[in-house]
């Protein structure tokens, strides 16, 4: 096989406001959860709904944009790659988590969407603001700074 692909595309709602922090070397990193929904019919023909939660991590300028413009409930498009991380818990069990390392984010939704959320009692997002679009991956590849940052450096 000549090459491989590790690409994830998600459209969902933020489960919480992004948490923006800085590594000891000063690199911005934002972390937030994103919910995607799936509807299907089970073996009895009943309609079922399932929500999947994704851990999103954004670095550098994209992290700062996410921290400034995104909030809980906001509908967003995320493009990135999946990355696993492993650790041992306090009981000595090996644990694995999967993160989506975002390299592109687009805010979605409309004023009507915000008003509908407010009418249903959900927290109303901040007024719509357009974030500057990050450069396309082909023009300037964006990836987390691998060599100088390890899992221990991430401040959460």
State the Cα–Cα distance between residues 156 and 154, nearest whole angstrom. Answer: 6
State the Cα–Cα distance between residues 49 and 35, nearest whole angstrom. Answer: 12
> pLDDT in tens for each of the 156 residues of the chain?
578 999 999 999 999 999 999 999 999 999 999 999 999 899 999 999 999 999 999 999 999 999 999 999 999 999 999 999 999 999 999 999 999 999 999 999 765 555 555 555 544 444 334 444 444 443 344 444 444 455 666 666
Q: Domain extents for the chain? A: 8-39+46-144
To which CATH superfamily is domain 8-39+46-144 assigned? Nucleic acid-binding proteins (2.40.50.140)
């Amino acid at each position: 096989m000549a090459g491989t692909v590790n690409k994830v595309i998600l459209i969902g709602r933020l489960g919480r406001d992004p948490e923006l922090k800085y590594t000891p070397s000063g690199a911005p990193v934002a972390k937030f959860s994103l919910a995607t929904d799936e509807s299907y019919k089970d073996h009895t023909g009943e309609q079922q709904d399932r929500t999947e939660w994704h851990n999103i991590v954004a670095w550098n300028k994209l992290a700062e944009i996410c921290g400034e413009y995104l909030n809980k409930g906001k509908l967003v498009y995320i493009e990135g790659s999946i990355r696993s991380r492993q650790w041992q818990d306090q009981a000595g069990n090996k644990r694995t988590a999967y993160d989506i390392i975002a390299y592109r984010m687009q805010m979605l939704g409309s004023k009507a969407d915000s008003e509908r959320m407010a009418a249903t009692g959900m927290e109303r997002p901040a007024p719509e603001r357009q974030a500057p679009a990050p450069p396309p991956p082909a023009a300037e590849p964006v990836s987390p700074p691998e060599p100088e940052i390890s899992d221990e450096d991430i401040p959460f």
